[in-house]
Chain A
Amino acid sequence: MMPRWFHSLLAGLVGLVLAAPILVVAGVSLNAKRSLDFPPKGLSLAWYAEIFTDPGWRGALITSLVVAVLSAALAVAIAFPLAWFIWRWRAPWARAFEVLGMTPFILPPVITALGFLSFWATFDQYGEPWTVVVSHAVFFVTLPLVTLSLGFGAVDRSYVEAASTMGADDRTVLRTVVMPLVRPYVISGFAFAFVLSLNEYIVAYMVAGFTLETLPIKIFNALRYGYTPTMASVTVLFVLLTAAVFGLIARFGDLPRLLGAWVRQD
């Protein structure tokens, strides 16, 4: 326990440094002319409008959203039965698949990206848009797997006992007892995977970078061919979208618990 003023100062500084790049980018996005000045020269929201009117940016935004929704859904579809199986049955060997699901997230992303590149190239699917969805789903399966393991772990087994004593089979127990209890964890797992897929660059780029332009790929390409304030407005849009998703998780779920703190007893 350091003195209180020291901690307040540290927290203030950390907050400032974490916010600074975003604030400058937000300022730049308001420039009236095609320049990257801060403070902005003249005020205009034209660069925000351009995200939706320019076919290139709009297309990239839609591509990113579609990829993120589909891959997050697939990630949940892989994680849910796995987490349920481990919770339902006594099968220590199934843990090996859990470890397998955690690995891609811990390793440097470039490794997973290169693995997928070798894989899709070998099977002649390199550059197909759907391969990005499958790659992202496997890459981010860790997140729903973690939230769902926590979710099933929190289910009071006595409810399940009660239901099965009354004659409910596995399917009925899952639908009527377990599912309502783990639903918040399904949603937060989906949301985590969705946000990370939206922001992911290297896997998407290596798998289908030449045929499919997601927003991060589009921003990177734009960086190489000269800066425009649209990159700044897209960045601000992404930051807001990301913060909104996590805000919703925090609003409807228990964020400190999801991140590993004990549940408070009070």
Chain B
Amino acid sequence: MIRRAPRSLAEHAPILFPALMLIVFFVIPFGLMIAVSVARRIPGGFYEPDFVFANYERFLTAFFGGVLSFSLELAALVAAVAVGIGFPFTYRLARLPRAAQVRWLVFLLSILSLSEVIIGFAWSTLLSRTAGITNLLVAVGLMAEPQSLSPSFGALLAGMVYQAFPYTVLVLYPALARLDPALVEASRTLGASPVKAFFTVVVPSQRNTIVATLIMAFVFALGSYLLPQLLGRPQHWTLSVLITDQAIYQSNMPFAAAMAVFLVLVSLALVGLALLAGRKEEA
């Protein structure tokens, strides 16, 4: 079997089905969304094809600006906390015996695949008055009455870090699993304390990995669409929530599509940056 360029139609045949599926069900929907974003809205829930930028002009309103800046700040905070805890955690995880690593990976993957509905429900229960952690504080005498901690900004932040943490660990895992142990051994032999070795050898050697992971966690957090509704107050709604709300409840598809196109551009630019940062590490 010689690995050369395919020539005949028969040799190309296997890729026809996947190519067709991806073009019809991914490229075309994307194109349609862009078309809808410049369509003209007809009050009452419909839209007609057009080429207007009215939907994009709404980005200039103070309301949209507020939602956008809140979304970006929240995602940045979530990414920073998740990577801050996730980096030392993953570093240790990658050095555990294989069986223990596998157990942790199964646990992390299970949390990662949980529906946002389930994460939101579980956290609102954990922070509720009847079943929440304040009951524990009352039991040990630190609090007089159990109280509800959700909805609040703290609840939202906790839920989103919970959701982003397993993702962050799994993005960091390949780089930290491949880290050469000789680096740390050398610094330890030369007399560095474990803490010093971690901060002066491990962290700097993984600077690009950390930057790439921060960006990936940021994009991941931008995608959270249910937790702000379940754990936050209306002022904590993010761009993803606003898109869902405009599309489904306000029946304003053109505006929702315009915001989605904007979110695609931001995300793709960031992912491109992350890939660039990751590539530098390997060179």
Contact = CB atoms under 8 A, between A and B. Distances in A.
A250 interface: yes
Interface in B225-283: 225-226, 230, 240, 243-244, 247-248, 253, 256-257, 260, 263-264, 267-268, 271
Interface string A195-235: 11001111001100100000011011001000000011001
A17 B82 CA distance: 13
Interface of B: 1, 3-6, 11, 14-15, 17-19, 21-22, 25-30, 32-33, 35-36, 85, 88-89, 92-94, 98, 101-102, 105-111, 113-123, 125-126, 128, 130-133, 135, 162, 165-166, 170, 173-174, 177-178, 184, 188, 194-195, 197-198, 202, 219, 222-223, 225-226, 230, 240, 243-244, 247-248, 253, 256-257, 260, 263-264, 267-268, 271
A89 B178 contact: no
Contact of B89 (A10, A106, A250): A10
Contacts of B1: 88, 160-161, 163-164, 170, 173
Interface residues of A, number: 97
A48 interface: no
Contacts of B247: 114, 117, 206
A251 B30 CA distance: 39
A256 B101 CA distance: 8
Interface of A: 1-3, 6-7, 10-11, 14-15, 17-18, 20-22, 24-25, 27-28, 35-38, 77-79, 81-82, 84-85, 88-91, 94, 97, 100-101, 103-104, 106-119, 121-122, 134-135, 137-138, 141, 160-161, 163-164, 170, 173, 195-196, 199-202, 205-206, 209, 216-217, 219-220, 223, 231-232, 235, 238-239, 242-243, 246-247, 250, 255-256, 259-262, 264
Given A10-B85, A88-B3, A261-B94, 13 more contacts: A36-B125, A82-B19, A91-B6, A100-B26, A110-B243, A114-B257, A118-B29, A199-B113, A209-B248, A220-B226, A232-B121, A242-B114, A246-B106
